[in-house]
Amino acid sequence: MRRIVAVAMLPAVLIVALGAATLAAQYTMTVNKDRLINAPSEPQNWLMMNGDYASTRYSKLSQINRDNVKSLRMVWALALGGLQDVGQNGPENEVNPLIDNGRMYTTDGWGTLYKIDVRDPNRGQIVWVADPGVKHAGNIPRTRGIALWEDLVIANLPDGRVIAVNRDTGEIVWDQKVATANEFGSREKFFAAPITAEGKVIVANGAGDGKTRGWIAALDARTGKELWRWYAVPKPGEPGSETWKDTNNAWKTGGGGLWQTGSYDPATRLTLWGTGNPIPQYDPQARPGDNLYTNSVVALNVDTGKLAWYFQYTPNDSWDYDEVGVHMLYDTTIDGQTRKVVGHFGRNGFYYSLDRTTGKFIKGAQYVNDLNWTKGLNPKTGMPLEYDPKLDVQIYNPAARALRGDGTKRTCPTWHGGIAHQPTAYNPIKNIAYGVGIEGCFSTNGAAVAFLSPQGGIDEKKSEKRTFSSDLYYGSVTAFDTIKHRVIAKAVTDIEIRSGATDTAGGVLFTALQDGWIVAYNDETLEELWRFNVGTALKGAPVTYAIGPKQYLAVQAGGRHLHPVNFDKLQDASYLFVFALN
């Protein structure tokens, strides 16, 4: 009480000074453990790539709502780098910026970091640029984001390094080489953004399709020193290795890459990540067995890197149905019981609800329009109905599964999804999950893959030729009721969606399209409410933040995907676009 009275008696000028000091203190407060755990309580900021540790991408901001979203206008744009020496279809920058009290942090495909002052409502001003010097020759510009920890901005780079930059000065604090090459010369690469938790930086090798073994590693956030590493494909003698029954050491190039950022549950100290498909992708007879821990969600102890539990979605996959996609953490009611859930839009076309403490299957339902690779899911186990644990090579639906010697067979969904890496969203008030991605089917023949020797390695020259084609190829936005476990709304787009979804308390769901459109939907009906075309391809998911009472929407451009290329006259650009109400 004495303190309150004392402040009340201070001169007005001093009160203003104290207010400014408070704001300055708020800004200089580091992004510590408590702030990250409680990120949803700071809706003015966007502190993690997927919004919070639970990866819900839900904002409590509501100034922009269904009634006024049609009045959104661009208030400023800012050019960034990252598109040098890449060609028309080079970059894969599926990134959104992070915002901490009026300062924005982001990256481009070459790993250059930017700090931008966004407090001016009419322009963004670059504070510093940190270029880590990634050589363009031999590298591909690609990123899905960065992470914050205390006074550091942390990024993994196309050349296999992980760096930490001082957020005030832009100086590199530490620089560690983490991703390397295997014995066959195949390079490990970073595609997923890092996450930070409990003083650690969690990074992952995403180059499973590039004939490496996927892994997750933890680095000390202050030094970059590696603390532990877990491999998605076990070596002989390790748990799970018995599910690789070949005689060619396929595990050495077995895939299981992790190329979308994981989630974290502070209550259990488990970090949850989705793993990629086994390699060779389309020849399951080359790697008989279930091929653990590919096509799975894995829960690792953040302190030790030990596997706590896993759930494999599609054993012995042959369709590239990797499950690297976002795994959302939430509490909800299913069949009358309150459950702690991991929710996931599977690339194989099903939405899954799992128990996040044990990994046990709770419920699943189809969310894509077309699905024929299986007749459905076993309601007790969550496995495909045709799955037979006694078989080394699964059959599933023979009409949709091309094995060696088979001619062309048509499978739904397409190998690009449903929903693959695209960040999903979850509204905790309405219990609705949102996914954006791709609908359609594809056709392929059966083709045998050859190995270099019994010691491993894939012989591309001696492998049979595979041909494939796509049909029914279009984009979609899906709203899924996580209580009743059913699709409640779906919107269709002419072009595939490679960005992501963000939902808000204003009842508006945002996404972005490759042909330049930023689109807003009613988050219950998916009725389109607003769209704006920025004239360049968009693969970064929109994010929202606030400066004082004013809410903003930010979208970062940076390249496009190869499938399909039906807008050749649209040029790539590396830009930040920011919108607000009139």
pLDDT digits (tens, 9 = 90+) for 20-64: 444 444 455 799 999 999 999 999 999 999 999 999 999 999 999
Which H or E run contains 17? Answer: helix 12-28
What confidence score (pLDDT) does residue 218 get?
Answer: 98
What confidence score (pLDDT) does residue 85 get?
Answer: 61
- Token pair for residue 310? 């896993």
Q: How far is CA 435 from the centre of its chain?
A: 12
What confidence score (pLDDT) does residue 563 get?
Answer: 61
**Is residue 42 within 8 Å of residue 91, measured between CB atoms?**
no
Between 81 and 457, the more confident residue is: 457
Between 523 and 561, the more confident residue is: 523
Q: How far is CA 3 from the centre of its chain?
A: 47
pLDDT band at 564 (very low <50, low <70, confident <90, very high): low
Distance CA 248, CA 459 (A): 12
Say whether 285 sits in a helix, a strand or coil.
helix
What confidence score (pLDDT) does residue 228 get?
Answer: 98
pLDDT band at 115 (very low <50, low <70, confident <90, very high): very high
What confidence score (pLDDT) does residue 14 get?
Answer: 34
Q: What pTM did the predictor assign?
A: 0.93
DSSP class of 181: B
Residue 433: name the closest of 335, 532, 329, 347 by CA: 329
Please state the three-class secondary structure of 139-172 as a single string: CCCEECCCEEEECEEEEECCCCEEEEEECCCCCE
Distance CA 253, CA 260 (A): 20
* Type of residue found at 97: P
| CA trace torsion 323, 325, 330, 335 (10° rounding) | -40
Distance CA 86, CA 26 (A): 40
| CA trace torsion 332, 337, 342, 347 (10° rounding) | -100
- Token pair for residue 376? 């459905």
Tell me how long the chain is.
Answer: 582
Residue 516 has pLDDT above 50, yes or no: yes
DSSP E strands in 52-151: the ranges are 58-59, 72-79, 92-93, 98-100, 103-107, 113-117, 125-130, 142-143, 147-149
pLDDT digits (tens, 9 = 90+) for 230-262: 999 999 999 999 999 999 999 999 999 999 999
What confidence score (pLDDT) does residue 93 get?
Answer: 81
pLDDT digits (tens, 9 = 90+) for 405-439: 999 999 999 988 899 999 999 999 999 999 999 99
pLDDT band at 567 (very low <50, low <70, confident <90, very high): low
What confidence score (pLDDT) does residue 136 get?
Answer: 87
Burial 252-283 (b: 16+ CB within 10 A, else e): bbbbbbbbbbbbbbeebebbbbbbbbbbbbbb
Say whether 11 sits in a helix, a strand or coil.
coil
Q: What average pLDDT does the structure give for the chain?
A: 92
What confidence score (pLDDT) does residue 89 get?
Answer: 52
**Is residue 539 within 8 Å of residue 94, measured between CB atoms?**
yes
- Token pair for residue 464? 């049979």
Phi, psi of 148 (to 5 degrees): -115, 145
Q: How far is CA 279 from the centre of its chain?
A: 21
Phi, psi of 100 (to 5 degrees): -135, 100
What is the Rg, in whole angstroms, of the alpha carbon atoms belonging to the chain? Answer: 23
